[in-house]
Homo-oligomer: A and B are copies of this chain.
Amino acid sequence: MQKKNPVQCQFVVALDSIVGKWKPIILYHLLQGKPLRFNELRRLLPDITQRMLTLHLRELEQEEIVKRVIYPQIPPKVEYSITEYGMSLSPILETLHQWGVAHIERKQLKKTENEQTETD
């Protein structure tokens, strides 16, 4: 990653934990509090492939943001949940979400403004 700015610029570190096409929405669902099984998550994210879900969950698990519990049953049962540490991401995601909503609104406002001046 970055060589310079050892302590000055560390958002990248946080971003690495959040970024990945599906990570935010995985976290969103897990932050609802209820542990979710692999296939439950799959149903909540209809367009994700099994592979991507596995990969992202593994990464989140490695960072101890997500906990993986295996129930030794057949057919297998594996539950994913947010760790207490992972909960510390909650305010960040909340802030990002709010900014995102405002950003979208702003864009739409600009768009309608432009459309108005065009039709004048």
Contact = CB atoms under 8 A, between A and B. Distances in A.
A11 interface: yes
B100 A10 contact: yes
A100 to B, nearest CB: 3
If over half of A's interface residues share one DSSP class (helix, strand or loop), that class is named, otherwise mixed; here it is helix
A13 interface: yes
Nearest to A25: B9
A101 interface: yes
Interface in A71-119: 85, 88-89, 91-93, 95-104, 106
Identical chains in the assembly: 2
Interface residues of A, number: 40
Nearest to A102: B88
Contact of A100 (B13, B28, B85): B13
Contacts of A88: 99, 102
A24 B13 CA distance: 10
A116 to B, nearest CB: 18
A14 B89 contact: no
